[in-house]
């Protein structure tokens, strides 16, 4: 069966990564979390002291880009890919609230997006990839054979992200903190100048507010099967 490129976009905490990971595992495709890539840059900038109290100079972050090496490695325990920054597993660190509070601003920097998009397109040059983010179908892979745009109820998204943070042992974050952060990210993602979050014209909308993970996967696997069979 011919491999395709699958682009999944949508709002924060809609379950994009969860679906993308499950789909990649089911299809034996490569999975790449574009959001994690931007989070890595943000984490690195925080560690270097370039971001302080939510403020930073764009040129200082751009200077750091050549020092950053990103990769994804399959974790047999979680049966999904972990994110590595310069050889260090930072899957937990990049989910910290301080990273969430700054990543949208960092990802809006033109040079950062150009740098990341080049890496993302290199990862997907041979197809057989599932990538999720906010501009994958609209900008990174505009010719992707399958594009999804995920949406979900705000309260459900907040609870999902809150549970995720708690599961990672970060118990100092409140539900209200998470909700404020999500709404702020929604606004920043949809209003930024560089490749804002938009639904690609040929994307299929997936509202997973009332769907289980299994139901979502089943729905998308059928889309992939129908698409690949029609093109074979």
Work out the average pLDDT over 161-183: 88
Work out the widest C-alpha separation in the chain, in whole angstroms: 54
Residue 225 CB coordination number (10 Å): 12
Is residue 92 within 8 Å of residue 98, measured between CB atoms?
A: no
Distance from C-alpha of 215 to C-alpha of 203, rounded to nearest angstrom: 19
Q: Write down the residue that tokens 């972050």 correspond to.
A: 61
Instruction: Identify the pLDDT of residue 232.
Output: 58
Q: Which of 34, 199, 35, 224 is nearest to 145 (CA)?
A: 224
Work out the average pLDDT over 12-41: 92
Work out the average pLDDT over 56-81: 88
Instruction: Identify the pLDDT of residue 158.
Output: 96
Work out the average pLDDT over 33-51: 94
Write down the domain spans for the chain: 5-223
The answer on pLDDT for 26 being more than 70 is yes
Distance from C-alpha of 135 to C-alpha of 10, rounded to nearest angstrom: 9
Work out the average pLDDT over 170-191: 90
Average predicted confidence (pLDDT) for the chain: 91
Instruction: Identify the pLDDT of residue 169.
Output: 79
Burial 85-100 (b: 16+ CB within 10 A, else e): beeeebbebbbbbebb
The answer on pLDDT for 231 being more than 80 is no
pLDDT band at 141 (very low <50, low <70, confident <90, very high): very high
pLDDT band at 30 (very low <50, low <70, confident <90, very high): confident
> Could you tell me the sign of the dihedral formed by the alpha carbons of 176, 170, 131, 224, in that order?
negative
Q: Which of 204, 150, 199 is nearest to 19 (CA)?
A: 150
The architecture that CATH gives domain 5-223 is 3-Layer(aba) Sandwich (3.40)
By percentage, how much of the chain surpasses pLDDT 90?
69
Work out the average pLDDT over 125-136: 92
């Amino acid at each position: 069966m011919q491999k395709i490129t699958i682009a999944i976009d949508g709002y924060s905490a809609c379950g994009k990564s969860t679906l993308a990971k499950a789909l990649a595992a089911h299809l034996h495709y490569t999975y790449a979390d574009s959001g994690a890539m931007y989070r890595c840059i943000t984490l690195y900038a925080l560690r270097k002291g370039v971001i302080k109290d939510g403020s930073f100079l764009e040129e200082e972050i751009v200077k750091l880009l050549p020092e950053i090496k990103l990769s994804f490695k399959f974790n047999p325990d979680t049966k999904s890919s972990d994110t590595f920054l310069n050889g260090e597993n930072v899957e937990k660190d990049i989910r910290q609230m301080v990273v969430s509070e700054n990543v949208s601003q960092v990802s809006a920097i033109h040079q950062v997006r150009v740098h990341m998009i080049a890496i993302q397109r290199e990862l997907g040059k041979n197809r057989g990839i599932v990538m999720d983010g906010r501009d994958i179908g609209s900008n990174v892979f505009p010719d992707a054979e399958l594009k999804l745009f995920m949406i979900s109820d705000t309260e459900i998204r907040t609870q999902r992200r809150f549970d995720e943070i708690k599961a990672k042992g970060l118990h100092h974050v409140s539900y209200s903190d998470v909700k404020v952060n999500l709404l702020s990210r929604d606004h920043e993602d949809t209003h930024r100048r560089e490749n804002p979050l938009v639904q690609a014209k040929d994307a299929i909308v997936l509202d997973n507010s009332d769907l289980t993970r299994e139901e979502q996967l089943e729905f998308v696997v059928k889309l992939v099967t129908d698409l690949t069979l029609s093109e074979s």
